[in-house]
Structure 1
Amino acid sequence: MRLTLLVPELLWPEPEDDLAWQALDCPALATLLQRSELQRRPALAAEAQAARWLGPTPQPLGALRLLGEDGAALAPDTGIWLCADPIHLRLHQEEIIVADSRELDLQAAEVETLAASLNAHYAGEASFHPVTASRWYVSLETPWAAELPGDALPPLSAAAGRRLNLPTPADLPSRRLLALMNEIQMLLHSHPVNEARGERGLPAVNGLWLWGAGSLAAAAAAPQAGAIWSNQPLPRGLARAAGLQHHPLPASAHALLQAGPAAERHLVCLDDLLQAAQDQDAQAWRDALADLESRWFAPLKTALAKGRLSQLEVVAGTSYGDLTWQASPRQIKGGLFSSFFSFLAGKPEALQQLARRLAAA
């Protein structure tokens, strides 16, 4: 069985942050990374990394995430769809920071009212569909929508908690998309919902993050059989579109291995570290990493050494780039040299040393 772990923000973004790194004891993870072959590429959001598992063809991430929404009243069968996730733009030390819906705590009535206003204003051009308070979608009906590149804007997960850094696109459709976002921002600025939120001391919904443009018809089929394990709608939509098995995320690697999955290739999406990194909460990140060490990395290291896995791949989008480690049983199994190497790799400072090397490269 070949297993790919997708773990965004696996390495803390600040290599000299002692609060995050000091006495960080994750010997199984450190050994896996030190004994694996590392491939480093330009940074890529977790959503795009999950899609890449199916192959290099760009995927319509907005339509696929909608396809993965359980209980949604609509399906992205036709047209151009994007994620249209509500955001709050706030000023911090002379910079504009993108905050996602976790800071908004939107109520159902607020969501319904905002969507109704947007649909009335953009009738015949765009149709907005909130599925949850945090996950909205828009179907664009303008002629330029079909020419929109899927990566005109990155997924919100790559922007949340960071300084607003909009691109300066050369193509006309992307420029029109940014203009649409600006129009929406102005429309929401003085909306009665936001005025009422301001009176209660709550942050305004002052924008929608539009990303993942494309048609479901452009979704690529899987090159070979496999299974995806995740509790998030986008991986679920990827599996449905590609005709792959999909399973809820198990509690641990032990649970996954005991289930005896029949497929040869497996993608497991672990987003436990993402929120802490977005919030710049080093202690929460340490706690989440320690939990992943006990539930996933340690048992998978053992399973790999015993040959229960033929290959383990760890994929992480980080501030150091898009990192992929690949290990085989031969690289993990014991022996005098291997035991000595594992001892060195398992030292608490091993992960920080890795981050320092990547930052300096």
Structure 2
Amino acid sequence: MRNVDIVIPGLFLPQEICADACAGLPVPFLEKMLARATLQPLPENGYSCDTLEQWLCQKFVMERQQDEPIALVTLTADGMQPGDGYWLRADPVHLQMRRTQLLLQPDLVLGAEEAAQLCASLNLHFNADGLHFFAPSPQRWYLRVENAPEIVTTPLAQASGRGVQMHLPKGKDALRWHKIFNEIQMIFFDHEVNRTRETRGDLPVNSVWLWGGGRATGKIASPYERVCGDSFLAGAFARTAGIDPGPAAGDWTRLPALDGDMLVAWEGLQRPLLQGDLHAWRDSVLRLEQGYLVPLWEALRNGRVRQLSLDLPGARLGYRFVLKNNAAWKLWRLAKPLEKYALR
């Protein structure tokens, strides 16, 4: 294998929480990689690298639109064809009032029939406006419109656990879409599906989150031979580009046979960090270390991998740590605890 890119949003923590989150965290292979690598800026190539969505759009050479057109990629992975319409993700969420803010909670456990009924109500209400909702997956809904709205949206992962007001669509058409956002909440307020969910103790679906819009512009690039990790989004890019999945965590029996480049996309740190769940963040770091970094370190040292790149996208500050196989033997570069990489 030639090169392995590892993208890990949410690895470096703010200084005020880093010491507690990283205390006693046994990640010696990650720490050795960081210590012996060369630090480089993340290349942009038309996209900034504030988010995993932007990083993937850059790597797979998605044509730049007003938003990162994530809906097109996941729609295809969910078995639908975009045609010539404009698509947005319209994911089911729960909005919780806390003091003076509405906080967004994603990842609702939702059945296919529940999703179908809720989308049917949206379509009945918005049909005259040319808005059409689809739920090929209970957790991933889509909205098709004929004409591209002039808005910029916030990815669901970035808005998760935060006040929605600052993350609503921005741009020339923003007020219209704020109105649609409010109408959806009114439709769902006393919906039969939600009454049933509340009766059994489940959170109601009281809104959708609109993001990742775009129109199909052609085939995306295939920069890797294999893609693996815990990221559904990276897997969707891989399926859309016709790329085979890579080895599962800890299963590296096929590694010597790979001739091209590979991507490991690890998304499991991002949402726990946004939700303030540092125990889940620690658990995810440990799974990354044992499932991928340990075997990749050994593959680098014995020459089966020529170069590892650890890409850490972040808001206005991204890092790339490049580790060639000869650098793995630079024992004088002493590892530092992960907490020493705290963001200031």
CA RMSD of aligned residues (A): 2.8
Counterpart residue type for residue 261 of structure 1: L
> TM-score of the superposition, structure 2-length normalised?
0.85
Q: Which residue does 1:252 correspond to in 2?
A: 250
Query: Equivalences for 1:150-229 in 2 at 5 Å?
Result: 152-167=152-167, 171-216=171-216, 218-219=217-218, 221-222=220-221, 226-229=225-228
Give the distance between the partners of 1:161 and 1:252, measured in 2 at CA.
32
Counterpart residue type for residue 352 of structure 1: E
Q: Which residue does 1:354 correspond to in 2?
A: 341
Taking structure 1 as reference, are residues 17 and 251 closer, same or farther at Cα in structure 2, changes over 3 Å only?
closer
Q: Which residue does 1:80 correspond to in 2?
A: 86
Q: Which residue does 2:69 correspond to in 1?
A: 60
Tell whether the 8 Å contact from 1:4 to 1:315 is kept in structure 2 after alignment.
yes
Query: Equivalences for 1:280-319 in 2 at 5 Å?
Result: 280-318=276-314
Give the distance between the partners of 1:341 and 1:77, measured in 2 at CA.
53
Give the distance between the partners of 2:264 and 2:296, measured in 1 at CA.
12
Q: Which residue does 2:318 correspond to in 1?
A: 322
Tell whether the 8 Å contact from 2:105 to 2:160 is kept in structure 1 after alignment.
yes
Taking structure 1 as reference, are residues 272 and 241 closer, same or farther at Cα in structure 2, changes over 3 Å only?
closer
1:340 aligns with 2:341: no
Give the distance between the partners of 1:116 and 1:240, measured in 2 at CA.
29
Give the distance between the partners of 1:162 and 1:14, measured in 2 at CA.
20
Identity %: 28
How far 1:156 sits from its partner (Å)?
0.8
Tell whether the 8 Å contact from 2:194 to 2:205 is kept in structure 1 after alignment.
yes
Tell whether the 8 Å contact from 1:86 to 1:134 is kept in structure 2 after alignment.
yes
Give the distance between the partners of 1:140 and 1:230, measured in 2 at CA.
33
Tell whether the 8 Å contact from 1:127 to 1:139 is kept in structure 2 after alignment.
yes
Structure 1 stretches lacking a partner, 5+ long: none
CA deviations on 1:108-145 (whole Å, 9 max, x unpaired) are: 3322211110111111411111122211111113xxx3
How far 1:249 sits from its partner (Å)?
5.3
Q: Which residue does 2:109 correspond to in 1?
A: 105
Counterpart residue type for residue 107 of structure 1: G
Taking structure 1 as reference, are residues 148 and 214 closer, same or farther at Cα in structure 2, changes over 3 Å only?
farther
Counterpart residue type for residue 63 of structure 1: L
Structure 2 stretches lacking a partner, 5+ long: none
Give the distance between the partners of 1:178 and 1:60, measured in 2 at CA.
20
Give the distance between the partners of 2:251 and 2:10, measured in 1 at CA.
19
Give the distance between the partners of 2:32 and 2:17, measured in 1 at CA.
21
Counting matched residue pairs gives 334
Tell whether the 8 Å contact from 2:226 to 2:246 is kept in structure 1 after alignment.
no
How far 1:201 sits from its partner (Å)?
4.1
How far 1:327 sits from its partner (Å)?
2.0
